[in-house]
Structure 1
Amino acid sequence: MVRLGTGRAVVGRDREKQPLLTPSQRHLVTRFGYGIDATLANDVRRAGGAQAWFEKQLTRPGAFPDSAADEVRRWWPDLDRKPADLWQRQVQEVRGGWQVMEDYGRWLLVRRIRTRRPVLEKMTEFWEGMLHVPVSGDAHFTWRADYGATIREHALGRFDQMLVETTTHPAMLIFLSAATSTKRAPNENLGRELLELHTLGAGNYSEDDVKASARILTGWHVDLWETWAASYVKEDHFTGTVKVKGFTDKNRKGDGRQLTKDYLRYLAHHPSTAHHIAERLATKFVRDDPPSSLVDRLAKVYLKNDTEIVPVLRALVASKEFRKSAGRKLRDPSEDVVATYRALGVEVGRPSGSDSGAIAMLWQASGLGLSPHAWPRPDGTPVRDDIWASPSRALGSMSMHWSMAGGWWPSVDLRYRKPAAWVPAKKPIRFADLVDAVSRDLLHRPASKHLLETARLATGCKAREKIDREHALYQWGFPRLLAAVLDSPDHLAC
């Protein structure tokens, strides 16, 4: 197992000597990460602060060794099988595609728990959500892991290049019915979603644009149900003049691959696309109602830098709107699961059976509302908070926090810290100091008056009450304290 928590816990005055990130540093690292632990905090300090850490994460993610995250891939070997092999195994009832895709979700969750490259991970998740191919599907599952790898490769690169690679990827072609689209019967699904969801945005195209978009994309093919090989069939490509918005081409060649690339690059550089991407980024990383002035600024940066993603992220983080947005976003289900494992310092081991923690965490995310990339519609995982801000979600999070605070479920192939990590063996500690120590450990911030009061009500302890290893809180009540901290807005908000 690999240690992901804060290591040896210290309490009381000794804990106060441990440097915490400043509020502004914590805001940046939390918004572009999955929860602060000791390793992440140390990475920030060694980099020279959060801004320097962020820049290195953007431009030199390889500077952060990530072997603990990389090794997890070996836990689920089906993710590296070829599409035809995956299909044959499903047909022969060796292993269904839905099971392979569950492995994909689990791999993502454990990787996010372990990674030292959270910005790359976060942006890969962002683009997989926007250029969405759901993990559920009886055909495109064969190519879905490869599709995720394609997005990961371009997640901090240029959007125009990523758009070409994702639009023509077999997983996307299969999902949106373009894999069998022909000049005789052009399927409009991909042509429409490309315009509405991936580039220009709703209301910025016409039905004629959709028809021309579909014709441009004819010829891309996947051999469904047999070899699952991807190819380009010139005989299936529509020829004749095509026009979408300001893009026009006589389209006389039977081979339309260059036409597709030119068209997608045109869309990627369109001002409406710039606005669409900027708005989604600002909604995800700033707040649900980002000011139009911020969106406009980010769109200009995007266009000025030839669709490069990194300059846009720099501008977003440097904005006053971002600096003022701390605590104004709610973690979605997967983020809550990952952040809880990281906060508690739970060691996740290779699954030995169906009841292992690495298996169960997918059910935990589903129980809160959604497992990774399981959103069924083409519009992708929502980046707004309102869909997650419900009573059922709150109750689900509280239930998960409670079961993990006690180390009750999941428990197989996991290692939880014990109360001894916080309560000293010899000298008793005041309850208020204990709450502060736990808050600094789990949340990387001092305990607020509100958190202390919440913890007092949850445990029945008084602020000045002395806690030692004979105290009932240590003996059986400690999960109440941990759950109170995890249920607080300081953990659920980011």
Structure 2
Amino acid sequence: MPAFTPDRFKMMAAMLLCLMAGTVSAQQLDEADARFFLMRTGFAPDRDEVARYSHLSRRQAVEQVLAETRSTAATAVPGWIDEQPISSLNSKDKSDDEKKALREQEQRRAFELRGWWLREMLSTTTPLTERMTLFWHNHFTSSQQKVRSIQLMAHQNSLFRQQASGNFGTLLHAIGRDPAMLLYLDNSSNRKGAPNENFAREVMELFTLGEGHYEEQDVKEAARALTGWSVERDTGEFRIRPAAHDTGSKTVLGVSGNLDGDAMFDILLAQPACAEYLVAKLWREFISPTPDPREVRRIAGQLRDSHYDIKTALRELFLAPAFWEVNNRATLVKSPVELVVGTLRQFRFSYDDPLPFTFAIGQLGQNLFNPPNVKGWPGGDAWINSTTLLAREAVLERLFRATERPAARAQVMMQDGAKLPGQQALGREGKIQFANAVTRIGFDAHAWLAEFGSDDALVPDLRQRLAIQRAVLAREPSAPTNAALHGSAYLRSLVMDPVYQLK
């Protein structure tokens, strides 16, 4: 009999873990599992989406959702996206009136772009694609308020979607050449002899390594490597300006040479801390607020071995036992985008124009293309406090007022929307468009409840109430529900329960 050595013990333990993982991934999804999986990897699913995933094994479900991701939007982009970006890049010679007109045009287009992205989220057949596009938007943060070119922000959004589940290394290198990012973090003015450290600092602290994995001197040297990486003012295109680039020797994280931006990014990607930082952030996005250090190291190792293939990390995260752990369910707070988009998708709201939803999401603190600072939206529990919870409930209440007079509903939403900065840029026609769009938002409670054998005007029986509750809430409601409520009133009571804010 072979000696029982420590190495043999490790080998046997690894084999046991593999067998356990195989057993876990083969487990079949019931409706509750499918709904949970689709909620975590996308937006709140409707019954058709749940039916497609019910009775698949966990591995089959994961492979299916990963296989369906795409790299381009299905919704046609606004026609002005490929116009020359002039609002902030080359408007110095414009008159004050011309500059004002350009600012108002930029605001109108910003509303249009947010509406376009929301329409893509609402109609997409691959919600994980849009979730990951949003994830990268909040990871590689930049803001239209500072960039001041909505075309450049639109191109950046396309980049995030292109690599949504592609390759992190490819995405990092592309971000180094992204005009919106270079403008946002001031690298367009980074030149030999007067290096600007903003981009170099954030690429280490927020994009790749996290605090504590680099020294101040590494930031200074990385900034030198990025000198000359700039933006052409006339066209908004990326340019390397040789005369502004520092060609001297630099040392970043112990690696020396005549480094440029690409060489510096490769040094960062080679650090074990880079993969671990990224996996921990994805863990907080999809599993729980507290990453498991051992699992993070394991998945990070596979991410590095795959040369930063994002699907490799997502597959391991979605198949991890912790992802399916009952105690990790209903522990993540829905972002404003997830709350509004998920509600509209799950309950099959009808609408003509997503413009009102852009205001609703902005009111809740997630103004797309305008994160609050370079760290992005903090997310998690930070989405919820006594004020924001009331605001969330108010938005949900307005959405479900399908039986109110349209004019009254429009007036209420217009009053609330007016609190948002920049609404004046909509102009008179835009405000009319907004009001008309609100009147066309509808919810067919009778049709939705009929899927559970219930009816809008009738009191659902116990079986129906439980089925509706399981479809709406991630766990038991925080307060007992009134069994005497008729269908739509019972449904609204569930949506207003604080548990509805969780996933």
Instruction: Tell me how far apart the structure 2 counterparts of residues 481 and 82 of structure 1 sit (CA, whole Å).
Output: 52
Instruction: Tell me how far apart the structure 2 counterparts of residues 86 and 49 of structure 1 sit (CA, whole Å).
Output: 52
Instruction: Tell me how far apart the structure 2 counterparts of residues 426 and 37 of structure 1 sit (CA, whole Å).
Output: 18
Once the two structures are superposed, residues 28-75 of structure 1 have per-residue CA deviations (whole angstroms, 9 ceiling, x without a partner) of 2110111111342244259x4564243133234359xx9xx723x35x
Instruction: Tell me how far apart the structure 1 counterparts of residues 382 and 330 of structure 2 sit (CA, whole Å).
Output: 17
Instruction: Tell me how far apart the structure 1 counterparts of residues 84 and 207 of structure 2 sit (CA, whole Å).
Output: 27
CA shift for structure 1 position 281? 0.8
- Residues 206 and 62 of structure 1, relative CA distance in 2, 3 Å threshold: closer
Instruction: Tell me how far apart the structure 1 counterparts of residues 182 and 203 of structure 2 sit (CA, whole Å).
Output: 11
8 A contact 2:192–2:246 mirrored in 1: yes
Counterpart residue number, 2:144: 135
Match of 1:376 among 372, 375, 382: 372
- Residues 50 and 359 of structure 1, relative CA distance in 2, 3 Å threshold: farther
8 A contact 1:275–1:299 mirrored in 2: yes
Counterpart residue number, 1:403: 398
Residue 386 of structure 1 aligns to a residue whose secondary structure is: helix
Instruction: Tell me how far apart the structure 2 counterparts of residues 323 and 45 of structure 1 sit (CA, whole Å).
Output: 15
Does 1:394 find its partner at 2:424? Answer: no
Instruction: Tell me how far apart the structure 1 counterparts of residues 378 and 83 of structure 2 sit (CA, whole Å).
Output: 30
Which residue identity does 2:344 align to in structure 1? Y
Q: What does residue range 33-72 of structure 1 map to in structure 2 within 5 Å?
A: 33-45=42-54, 48=56, 51-61=59-69, 70-71=74-75
Q: Which range moves more in the overlay, 285-294 or 409-418? A: 409-418
Aligned-pair identity (%): 22
Which residue identity does 1:281 align to in structure 2? L
Counterpart residue number, 1:330: 333
Instruction: Tell me how far apart the structure 1 counterparts of residues 52 and 378 of structure 2 sit (CA, whole Å).
Output: 30
8 A contact 2:182–2:199 mirrored in 1: yes
Alignment root-mean-square deviation, CA: 3.0
Which residue identity does 2:237 align to in structure 1? A
- Using the size of structure 2 for normalisation, the TM-score is 0.78
Counterpart residue number, 2:362: 366
Number of aligned residues: 431
Counterpart residue number, 1:414: 441
Residue 243 of structure 1 aligns to a residue whose secondary structure is: strand
Instruction: Tell me how far apart the structure 2 counterparts of residues 28 and 264 of structure 1 sit (CA, whole Å).
Output: 34
Contiguous gaps of at least 5 residues in structure 2 = 1-28, 414-437
Counterpart residue number, 2:344: 341
Residue 347 of structure 1 aligns to a residue whose secondary structure is: coil
Does 1:107 find its partner at 2:116? Answer: yes
Instruction: Tell me how far apart the structure 2 counterparts of residues 135 and 483 of structure 1 sit (CA, whole Å).
Output: 36
Does 1:182 find its partner at 2:186? Answer: no
8 A contact 2:106–2:149 mirrored in 1: no
Instruction: Tell me how far apart the structure 2 counterparts of residues 147 and 117 of structure 1 sit (CA, whole Å).
Output: 20
- Using the size of structure 1 for normalisation, the TM-score is 0.79
Residue 267 of structure 1 aligns to a residue whose secondary structure is: helix
Greater RCO between the two (CA within 8 Å, min separation 6)? 1
CA shift for structure 1 position 273? 0.9
CA shift for structure 1 position 403? 1.2
Which residue identity does 2:317 align to in structure 1? L
Residue 368 of structure 2 aligns to a residue whose secondary structure is: coil
Match of 1:243 among 246, 251, 254: 251
Counterpart residue number, 1:275: 276
Counterpart residue number, 1:93: 101
Which residue identity does 1:347 align to in structure 2? S
Instruction: Tell me how far apart the structure 2 counterparts of residues 366 and 271 of structure 1 sit (CA, whole Å).
Output: 37
8 A contact 2:176–2:182 mirrored in 1: yes
- Residues 420 and 172 of structure 1, relative CA distance in 2, 3 Å threshold: closer
Counterpart residue number, 1:453: 480
CA shift for structure 1 position 485? 1.6
8 A contact 2:82–2:151 mirrored in 1: no
Does 1:321 find its partner at 2:322? Answer: yes
Counterpart residue number, 1:443: 472
Counterpart residue number, 1:117: 126
Q: Which range moves more in the overlay, 290-299 or 431-440? A: 431-440
CA shift for structure 1 position 269? 2.6
Which residue identity does 1:435 align to in structure 2? R
Counterpart residue number, 1:173: 182
Counterpart residue number, 1:4: none
8 A contact 2:206–2:375 mirrored in 1: yes
